[in-house]
Homo-oligomer: A and B are copies of this chain.
Amino acid sequence: MTRHERRPSRPTQADIARLAGVSQPTVSLVLGGNKAGVALSDETRQRVLDAAESLGYVPDPIARRLSRRTNNLLGLYTFTATFPTDVQHSYYPFLVGVEEEAAAQGYDLLLFTSSGAYEGATDVLNRVRLADGCLFLGRHVPEKAMGRFLDDGYPLVYIGRHDELGERLPYVGADYVSASADVVRRLAELGHRHLAYVREKDDAPASADREAGLRSAVADTGVRADVVRTDGGDVDTARLRSWLADGVTAIVAEETDTDIAVTAVESAARAGGLRCPDDFSLALLGDRVGRSPGLPALSGFAIPRREMGRAAVRMLTGLIAGEPEARIRQILGCHPLAGETVGAPPRPPEH
């Protein structure tokens, strides 16, 4: 006897029970494979199975999940659109890894985005609780909401190193520190003595790690590096030329999901008719996903995004399973990309 008007509805365990002449819990037992090992006559079992078959029974995942308190859903939260319109977006390789590993572990993926949502809305973030656990992808950490998740014991993993919550936040990061230092060392070996480092204005662990690596290599090699923070608009051809006039022979750019820094340098160079590595060397602290047609391959390093995605899923499912929280933070190595934009320093102009 239902109370709502309902669409032609699927058979339930109750229907099967009625048809087989047993109780509904018995149906659940039989169809659940009887994991508890309860004694069941073969005859009853068969009657139930036949009834289920004849009715075309399909278990309702919602009800099952309510009683079992787990739903085999992994959330993926991106603070910008998961599928941005610039097709070559750097999230994609993470998604490849996340999907692969989630499928391998029998989880489905639930996509959440705060894009378009009002700022700081914790309700938006709370939607993720629908999933058994959630992956987060973004340059920053909304500390209040994440703190609450952690307090509640809600399983979550960040993709990207984050120390905003001290040691509490589980993450899978990449070794930007060593990889960035290597880039500078390669430039030093080629003979560059004076670099400009162009980075985004805002701070994030991903920025701090790159700059730390750069600084350590600068200290090791004795090259000079001027750090320039930009929001994109303030790097133009004139500025680029003034750096070169000051003796800068190589420009190192931070890589971020928006790639503001490197894009600004490239535009300024193109506008000024400057070419890499003839006029100056250009290195990226990272890589560009899906090279833009017409642009040369940037020298830099490859971030193991796919493997990071996989590792993050493994960490998350481990947390969900309540495994001993050993490897709660993980850093994967990057590998160098030779590219086409780095070479020996240009000969200084004659005076």
Contact = CB atoms under 8 A, between A and B. Distances in A.
B110 A10 contact: no
A14 interface: no
Given A108-B112, A111-B108, A148-B56, A61 B130 contact: yes
A9 interface: yes
Interface string A85-108: 101100011011011100110001
A115 B7 CA distance: 31
A152 B6 CA distance: 11
A62 to B, nearest CB: 5
A218 to B, nearest CB: 34
B87 A92 contact: yes
Contact of A111 (B6, B110, B126): B110
Interface string A223-249: 000000000000000000000000000
B112 A99 contact: no
A335 to B, nearest CB: 18
Contacts of A337: none
B109 A111 contact: yes
B130 A289 contact: no
18 contacts: A6-B69, A7-B153, A7-B322, A56-B148, A62-B130, A63-B66, A71-B130, A73-B110, A81-B100, A82-B95, A82-B99, A83-B95, A83-B99, A84-B96, A85-B306, A88-B290, A92-B92, A110-B111
Interface in A125-153: 126-127, 129-130, 148, 151-153
Query: Which of under 10, 10 to 19, 20 to 34, or 35 or more describes the interface residues of A?
Result: 35 or more
A95 B84 CA distance: 9
Contacts of A332: none
A114 to B, nearest CB: 9
A104 B113 CA distance: 11
A58 interface: yes
A104 B66 CA distance: 28
A116 interface: yes
B87 A116 contact: no
A207 B155 CA distance: 45
Contacts of A152: 7-10
B293 A4 contact: no
A291 interface: yes
Contact of A92 (B73, B83, B110, B306): B83
A326 B71 CA distance: 35
A58 B126 contact: yes
A257 interface: no
A7 B291 CA distance: 45
A66 B69 contact: no
B108 A110 contact: yes
A270 interface: no
Nearest to A4: B69
Contacts of A65: 62, 130
A278 interface: no
Nearest to A82: B99
Contacts of A8: 151-153
A318 to B, nearest CB: 14
A103 B108 CA distance: 19
Contacts of A153: 7-8
